[in-house]
Amino acid sequence: MITDGLLMLGVLLGLSCVLIVLEKTTGWKLFKYVPGMVLMYLLCALLNTLGVFGQDDATRATIAQVKDVLLPAMIFLFLFGCDLRKIIRLGPKLLLTMFVASASLCFGMVLVYVVFQAAVHPEAWKVFGALLASWTGGSANMVAVQDILKAPENIFGYALITDTLMYSLWLMLMFASVAVSPRFNRWTKADTSYLDAHEGAFEEEEEEEEKKPVTVSSLAIVVFGSILVSTLSIWIGGLLPEWGAVVNGTTWSILIVSLLGLAVALTPLGSTAGASEVASLMLFVVIGQIASGSDFSAITQAPIYIVMGILVVAIHAAIMVLYAKVAKVELFSLAVASTANIGGIASAPVVASAFNRQLVPVGVLFALIGSFMGTFVGLIGAQVMHAL
């Protein structure tokens, strides 16, 4: 078992290195169907499940601190070169997709609870209200609803297990969905012209960046500059007022780096060579940290709650696919909106960047919407379940 935080960080960096090199140099068909980031997630989650990573706070502190710094820095770099005007022109369909994602989770939670309520604790509606808050906002919303409703602690742990397990599996599936995106879009007959426009702009920027070789100066700007912006945003976010459990330091820091990234994109710094490459490296480390907290062995501890969680997510997925077919929506919108609900502010921009780094603002926007409304959706859902 690894009980040294620096060694754990070294293992995650080593796995990232091996997978990145293999994916970029071997041409194996495996990576066509299972991207390197998905394999990173699977390997780290497997190692944690097997007990390779220590569970104490001292072991986890190092990689957690690294991830806390890298996540804002990664979002900041992914926003370099982003054309905000094109994002604004995406129209109301994206907001509708976010609404459908939240509504489908709320409907699924209420429906599954009504079917299974005789098999669970009499106050389980409070726990599922908290779980719904997490799946439409984030962990902060979950804790807020649990505190408001005073959900029994002896069964609240089952909700935490269900939340962790389903979040891990769903995030992995969202990363894997990138590979089938073109096929799905053809099936729904989605209009992906705006995505094609972004891809074209991205390719043009890449061609321009190729003319600007990566130098020590450009790497200094990208690496050291992004880390400086990240740490400053974390510091400033900690000074800003918190509004309940929804708007906290993390919310502020993500919002700050997002605004700064969009601002930098309008300046010559937005075309700094090496920005996208460094951000991609950070992405692997962030995914590794998230996966290192996943433990699939927890599935044996709360079977009825896990089954209910699986059914809720299945109903959510079915409604989203039906909506996509009827409204001709592309997979990117579905995946990011779903991740913004179930995963929250730390995951939606990461999934968005896996599809297209220029669409990271959509993930940030979705996640911020979820952060604000998750608590209220959880409370409303809990009251409906209690009434039923």
User: Looking at the predicted structure, is the pLDDT value of residue 133 above 70?
Assistant: yes
Exposure letters 157-170 (e unless 16+ CB within 10 A, then b): ebbbbbbbbbbbbb
Alpha-carbon gap, residue 11 to 263, rounded angstroms: 35
How far is residue 33's CA from residue 353's CA, in Å, rounded to a whole number? Answer: 18
3-state secondary structure of 151: coil
Please check whether residue 134 lies inside any domain of the structure.
no
**Is residue 347 in a domain?**
yes
Q: Does residue 15 sit within a domain?
A: no
Residue 340 in domain:
yes
Q: Is residue 205 part of a domain?
A: yes
45-85 tens-digit pLDDT: 888 888 898 888 888 888 889 988 998 898 888 778 665 66
pLDDT band at 16 (very low <50, low <70, confident <90, very high): very high
pLDDT at 199 over 60: no
- Higher local confidence (pLDDT), 334 or 210: 334
* pTM score: 0.66
Q: Is residue 147 part of a domain?
A: no
Give bridge partners of residue 247 from the DSSP assignment. 243
Provide the pLDDT for residue 17: 94
Most confident residue range from 200-214, 265-279, 310-324, 340-354 = 310-324
Q: Which domain holds residue 224?
A: 84-98+166-273+298-387
Tens-digit pLDDT profile for residues 159-197:
777 887 888 788 888 888 888 888 998 898 887 665 555
Residue 232 within any structural domain of the chain: yes
SS3 356: coil
Q: How many domains does the chain have?
A: 1
Q: Where are the alpha helices (DSSP H) in 212-302?
A: 216-219, 225-239, 249-264, 275-291
In a domain, 355, yes or no: yes
Which residues, at least 6 apart from 287, have a Cβ–Cβ distance to it below 8 Å? 37, 40, 41, 44, 175, 350
